[in-house]
Structure 1
Amino acid sequence: MAAENHSTVTEFILGGLTSQPELQLPFFFLFLGIYSVTMVGNLGMIALICLNAQLHTPMYYFLSNLSFVDLCYSSVTTPKMLVNFVSGKNTISYAGCMAQLYFFLLFVVTESYTLTVMAYDRYVAICRPLFYNIIMSQRTCFLLLAGVYVMSVIGSNIETIILSKLSYCETLIRHYYCDILALIKLSCFSTYHIDMIVFSLAGFDIIVTSLTILVSYTFILSSIFRIRTTEGMSKAFSTCSSHFAAMGMFYGTTAFIYLKPSTASSLAQENVASVFYTAVIPMLNPLIYSLRNKDVKAAMQKTLRGKCFKANVITLS
């Protein structure tokens, strides 16, 4: 195919998850179910935290932000994928592709730094409990989240600008969304330097955040093992287990995809890993935090009891 620069590319073709027609409809209903559970779970978590005063603490302030981010970055990719399952023409405009890439990168990086801030919050709660309210003040929480979004905006801007300057010789994206690695493979020229920039940026985000989390949990575990009572240890572990599970799932898949050369794994492997962290993890996070957190379960029961009581009053009146 003759070389053409990016200004002549008006749209891309998304390869999708499968080329087998008989799987399109089952996949549509599967991912529609996953997306519906994701919407209900994350919106429900945000509403639950807003409506219950006992959850107005830094930990749940960050958790509500995590639910918002999960909601957003799942919405960046899943609706378009659902349309493609039932559409005969799986195309996306050049501007739409760059916009999808930008917002996907924005929310994925935000998720990684939000998980890091949550690890720091757990460190303060367990290792410095007497100073928790002083250290994790409203101002500190606001500044931490502001820093999270500043880092994500910087990273997503740099990578999107780089990709928008590339010349593309092909228009078939062998993926179900505009991922940075899939777009790099369409370039007319050598992308070694771009691979290195993407690898460096992704490596910086993953390594810095994971090291911060590792240090935080090293101090947390050290403090937990010094607790003399079984009840105290169990309570301390319960406050961290949900976050640790969410963090493990997210970092495991993102490290597999981005901390390697773009040609180091098969398309099928990349698709499976991408589906896991773009669709499955945003669905699982609110379930993990609600099922393994006593405060959330208590608030949920209180809210449901309140709704049932109001419904009974209305019915009797």
Structure 2
Amino acid sequence: MQNLGDMNETDITEFVLIAFSGHPKIRTGLAALMSIIYLGNVVGNGLIVFVVTADPRLHNPMYFFLCNLSIIDIGLCTFSVPQSIANCLVDRPVMPFASCYIQMYAGIYLGGTECFLLAVMAYDRYVAISSPLRYMIIMNWRVCVVLAIAPWTMAFLLAIVPCLAKPAHFCGHNEVDHFACELTALMKLMCSDMAVSQLIMYFTSTFTVLFPFCLILFSYSRIIVTILKIDSSGGRKKAFSTCGSHLAVVVVFFGNAIVQYIKPQSKDNQDSDKFIFVFNAAIIPMLNPLIYTLRNQDVLGALKRLTQKKL
């Protein structure tokens, strides 16, 4: 005879997203803010992809990886923000079970891919500074393609496979205290052992967040040692400037990821989780092109040349 828990698990076909359901002004303001941020994300990251593709002077490993980062940021924002905007515009938004899971897994996958890609970009900067004369030999296009594919593969194996291996079970309660199908929000509805779910989450977070972060720290420790050996102050300043944009992105992205996924989770309603989600899924992908373009003379120069050609 089927028990009540199994019956309830099979009954769930949709999730009701109830975040700020009693606060229409907050929902409207949040929808307007996310719309502006999403537009800035698509335009900014799309512009980087266009400029790097169109200008032959930017056809090198550094900008190849930057192009990959922009594509990931567009995808990360697109899978979560438009649906979140739509959810904020209705009092009781409903998402089918399958759509909710696709949104959640897409966020996990693209976020994990970005973690590993930032580690690859740190290694690229290390090679550029430690072996400038052999840089294009070491970072040839075959190596670049392999290093670009590796983050997508590693993120799937370490972030998605463990989740698919132990699928979540829900016991009838389908109201999500969020405006998006986000992992930590859905975890609070699981009827399975919460300790086991958190253990799996910490395991995957360690390998998809902390492991790439440690690789980045190692790369930058070697970069600092190399830079300190440069005799001229101008040479040291130039070497630091080539890493500044990437380092700024790393600090913002990993700082927020650690706060969101490695901090202890509870079943209590935490409005802070919603704003952390907005920052991670919407604001950070928009900040990346701003950081790279405002601090990078090559990208600004390429953009200026392309603009003059159009005129």
| Same fold, judged at TM 0.5 (above) | yes
Tell me which moved more, 197-206 or 85-94: 85-94
Counterparts in 2 of 1:155 and 1:168: CA distance versus 1, 3 Å: farther
Mapped partners of 2:127, 2:269: distance in 1: 42
Q: Is contact 1:106–1:156 with CA below 8 Å preserved after alignment?
A: yes
Out of 236, 240, 263, which is 2:239 matched to? 236
Out of 281, 284, 287, which is 2:287 matched to? 284
Which residue in the other structure is 2:138 paired with? 135
Shift of 1:162: 5.2
Which residue in the other structure is 1:312 paired with? none
Which residue in the other structure is 2:117 paired with? 114
Tell me which moved more, 282-291 or 199-208: 199-208
Counterparts in 2 of 1:120 and 1:158: CA distance versus 1, 3 Å: same
Which residue in the other structure is 2:17 paired with? 14
Deviations 1:196-236 (A, max 9, x none): 01111111222210111001000111111222222212211
Tell me which moved more, 30-39 or 150-159: 150-159
Letter in 2 for 1:97: C
Residues matched between the structures, number: 308
Q: Structure 1: any 5+ residue segments left out of the alignment?
A: 309-317
Mapped partners of 2:296, 2:20: distance in 1: 35
Out of 295, 301, 306, which is 1:303 matched to? 306
Mapped partners of 2:130, 2:10: distance in 1: 55
Q: Is contact 1:74–1:278 with CA below 8 Å preserved after alignment?
A: yes
Mapped partners of 2:308, 2:298: distance in 1: 15
Q: Structure 2: any 5+ residue segments left out of the alignment?
A: none
Q: TM-score, normalised by structure 2?
A: 0.94
Which residue in the other structure is 1:40 paired with? 43
Mapped partners of 2:60, 2:304: distance in 1: 19
Structure 1 residues 60-71: aligned runs within 5 Å: 60-71=63-74
Q: Percent identity?
A: 33
Counterparts in 2 of 1:19 and 1:280: CA distance versus 1, 3 Å: farther
Shift of 1:173: 1.1
1:148 equivalent in alignment to 2:151: yes
Which residue in the other structure is 1:293 paired with? 296
Which residue in the other structure is 2:85 paired with? 82
Deviations 1:110-166 (A, max 9, x none): 110110000000000001112211110111111111211111122343244256441
Which residue in the other structure is 1:225 paired with? 228
Q: Is contact 1:13–1:92 with CA below 8 Å preserved after alignment?
A: yes
Q: Is contact 2:15–2:95 with CA below 8 Å preserved after alignment?
A: yes
Letter in 2 for 1:250: F
| Structure 1 stretches of 4+ moved >6 Å | none
